Structure 1
Amino acid sequence: MLKIGLAAPQYGLFTDRSTISGLAADIEAMGFDSLWVADRALVPVRPRDPYPDGGPVPEEFRKFLDPIATLSFLAHATQRVRLGTSTLNAPFYSPILLARALTSIDILSGGRLDVGFGLGWSSDEYEAIGVPWPNRGGRLEETLDVLEHVWSGSSAEYKGALWTIGSAHIDTLPVQRPRPPVLLGGFTHTTLARIGRRADGWAGVGLPVPQLAYVVSEIRQSAEANGRDPDAMRIVVRVNPKVTVDAAPSDDVPGRGTVVQVADYLLAAHEAGADEVLIDLQQTARNADELRDLARRFHELLRKAPGST
């Protein structure tokens, strides 16, 4: 069954409270399954690191609402859709405070939270936040350890390489037990092995379909090697297209193309193993009406997938 998600209004032209609440309610009414927020602290003037798609950092990122605050607002503005992070840069945060924030969102949304974690791509952001760029994968691993400890409800002491939590009572626990679903982003061998070992699935991106199928296979093999159900691994594929009127060259899709071209790619991604697809329209739409119209057109095409909602 294909689930259909949309990036929540959060950045660029879409940071007004009435725009966010109105669009969220409309997207839910259209039948979308989920809304997702992202994580951006700043846009460096002279970035040290290339943007993942090889181009410049989108100008829209210069105005970006906090993901946790936005999720809290969305929890109030919606009733049914799942609310996720795609992705939250886990090493940016103190894990004990992150546990409190995410638990609060799960409670306030009635158990609708999906937690997607990534490592980010900008060493400029790490420097500004005051977190070391090296060993960020290790910080993510221990962040997951702390979250599991806190969400277990244990009052025992936790001691790791980076953080120590003395014996304490933390009775504020997520609605979803034993915890909200955790997805991890990235596609290195280490990341795919980590997903199969300890996550619930992949917060993925729009790779070429053969490469996407390979990544799905690697995740499932890792899960099986760790004694876990490979078919239970959830695969969410995100695209951030520049939607065009005229057809784009096939090599540009899904980064650029018509609604039909991008939708066809997402349907092919579903055939390659994606359980859910996620579309960000904030780099194309120039106002709320245009975003709403594009979202409706995508939903009409994608719900034709066998078993989609």
Structure 2
Amino acid sequence: MTQPGAAPSGPSPALGFGLPTSGAWATADAMATVAREAEAAGYHSLWTFQRLLTPIEHSWGSSYDSPHDPLVSLAYAAALTERVRLGVAVLNAPFTTPLQLAKAATTLDEVSAGRLDLGLGAGWAQEEFDAVGVPFARRGARFEEFLRCLTAIWTQDPVEFDGAFYRVPRSHVDPKPRQRPHPPVLLGGAAPAALRRVGRMADGWISASRADLRRIGEDIAIIREAATTAGRDPDRLRIVCRGVVRLTDGADRAGDPAARRPLRGSAEQIREDLAALAAAGVTEVFLDPNFDPAISGPGADPAESLRRAMHLLETFAPGR
């Protein structure tokens, strides 16, 4: 990846924005404001994420303390918008079943007129697996079978699936999604096995909030190689980056410029970072204010959080 601060050539990625999802600022009014303004400002997409609980013994970070359900939030945004795509990054597949998710996602795809981008993950928190009664062991195998079963439900009529983890008796499962053959399925994950799974099985990848974006090109290379090996066209894969952004009034010049984390600093620095991400192979970045503790953290004032988020939205508005 081009070093942040340099001015790479080439286009910038498509830009999305994080819907108010976690913290005191994530109210119905704030969701409506961000959804409407993001669409009016020309953003390509809106995004949510999932967490089921917060452990008492240790913290996963304030961004995960109080999130709303991601699909319900996207359905609300769908009713308030007409064009912008609606994504979840990510929903943990093992916490539901392929049949239940197929029905919910199909309904969301219908009410949004075919705007759903379904991001799925294998899950990583033992506490959440315990809470939903699903074994933590063999997560990868369970996830891959989930994906195969979900695809069968969406694309076969009648459908019949008999696996090690999931079974659907010979049945009609209707309606089918508005998007054909089904909504884009994008996978999370950072381990090499997870990246190779993207190349083999999915429509694209969503990077994690803690990803080191300075080496994202290495992850993309693993995905592309796996796609090629599987006989798939790597150029058709979407590479979506969650942009944990920190916009400052002035340039971030602390320490070694090469060590500055991408998407942190002045608007000019962040725009340079966006271009660098595109040069590395990223096709879309969504700026996610939910991962800024000043916006979603404990003690943050909801009105001030919304003001900060709207300043970010307006600063990088694609259509203005």
* SS of aligned partner of 1:167: strand
Identify the residue that residue 291 of structure 1 maps to in structure 2: 309
- How far apart, in 2, do the equivalents of 1:60 and 1:204 lie? 16
Q: Is the 8 A contact 2:153 2:159 kept in 1?
A: no
Gap change, CA 1:229 and 1:20, over 3 Å in 2: same
- After superposition, give the CA deviation of every residue in 1:97-139 in whole Å (9 maximum; x if it has no partner): 0110111110110000111111233211211222211111112
Structure 1: give runs of 5+ residues left out of the alignment: 48-55, 304-308
1:270 aligns with 2:278: yes
Gap change, CA 1:156 and 1:58, over 3 Å in 2: closer
Letter in 2 for 1:287: S
- How far apart, in 2, do the equivalents of 1:12 and 1:209 lie? 25
- How far apart, in 2, do the equivalents of 1:120 and 1:164 lie? 21
Aligned residues: 294
* SS of aligned partner of 2:207: strand
Gap change, CA 1:209 and 1:7, over 3 Å in 2: closer
Identify the residue that residue 86 of structure 1 maps to in structure 2: 89
Q: Is the 8 A contact 1:115 1:183 kept in 2?
A: yes
More displaced, 30-39 or 289-298? 289-298
More displaced, 19-28 or 113-122? 113-122
- How far apart, in 1, do the equivalents of 2:234 and 2:160 lie? 33
Q: Offset of 1:6 from its aligned partner?
A: 0.8
Letter in 1 for 2:93: A
Q: Offset of 1:261 from its aligned partner?
A: 3.4
- How far apart, in 1, do the equivalents of 2:282 and 2:168 lie? 38
Identify the residue that residue 238 of structure 2 maps to in structure 1: 234
1:43 aligns with 2:61: no
- How far apart, in 2, do the equivalents of 1:147 and 1:119 lie? 14
More displaced, 107-116 or 255-264? 255-264
Q: Is the 8 A contact 2:263 2:269 kept in 1?
A: no
1:166 aligns with 2:164: no
TM-score, reference length from structure 1: 0.88
Q: Is the 8 A contact 1:27 1:292 kept in 2?
A: no
Q: Is the 8 A contact 1:116 1:182 kept in 2?
A: yes
Identify the residue that residue 114 of structure 1 maps to in structure 2: 117
Identify the residue that residue 192 of structure 2 maps to in structure 1: 189
Q: Is the 8 A contact 1:11 1:61 kept in 2?
A: yes
Identify the residue that residue 98 of structure 2 maps to in structure 1: 95
Indicate the percent of aligned positions where both proteins have the same amino acid: 36
* SS of aligned partner of 1:6: strand
Q: Offset of 1:289 from its aligned partner?
A: 2.3
Q: Is the 8 A contact 1:185 1:202 kept in 2?
A: yes
1:11 is aligned, of 13, 22, 46, to 22
Letter in 2 for 1:213: G
Q: Is the 8 A contact 1:193 1:222 kept in 2?
A: yes
* SS of aligned partner of 2:271: helix
1:237-256 matches, within 5 Å, as 237-245=241-249, 247=252, 248-249=254-255, 250=257, 251-254=259-262, 256=264
Identify the residue that residue 214 of structure 1 maps to in structure 2: 218
- How far apart, in 2, do the equivalents of 1:128 and 1:258 lie? 42
- After superposition, give the CA deviation of every residue in 1:169-213 in whole Å (9 maximum; x if it has no partner): 112110111111111111222112111111011111474455211
Identify the residue that residue 51 of structure 1 maps to in structure 2: none
Gap change, CA 1:7 and 1:110, over 3 Å in 2: same
- How far apart, in 2, do the equivalents of 1:188 and 1:172 lie? 35
Letter in 2 for 1:224: T
Q: Offset of 1:255 from its aligned partner?
A: 6.9
- How far apart, in 1, do the equivalents of 2:266 and 2:139 lie? 37
- How far apart, in 2, do the equivalents of 1:176 and 1:87 lie? 19
Structure 2: give runs of 5+ residues left out of the alignment: 1-10, 296-303
- How far apart, in 2, do the equivalents of 1:169 and 1:288 lie? 45
Q: Is the 8 A contact 1:153 1:173 kept in 2?
A: no
1:16-31 matches, within 5 Å, as 16-31=27-42
- How far apart, in 2, do the equivalents of 1:23 and 1:64 lie? 16
More displaced, 242-251 or 184-193? 242-251
Relative contact order, CA 8 A, sep 6+: which one is greater? Answer: 2
- How far apart, in 2, do the equivalents of 1:197 and 1:41 lie? 28
More displaced, 246-255 or 140-149? 246-255
- How far apart, in 1, do the equivalents of 2:32 and 2:238 lie? 28
Q: Is the 8 A contact 2:213 2:261 kept in 1?
A: no
Gap change, CA 1:88 and 1:156, over 3 Å in 2: closer
Letter in 2 for 1:67: P
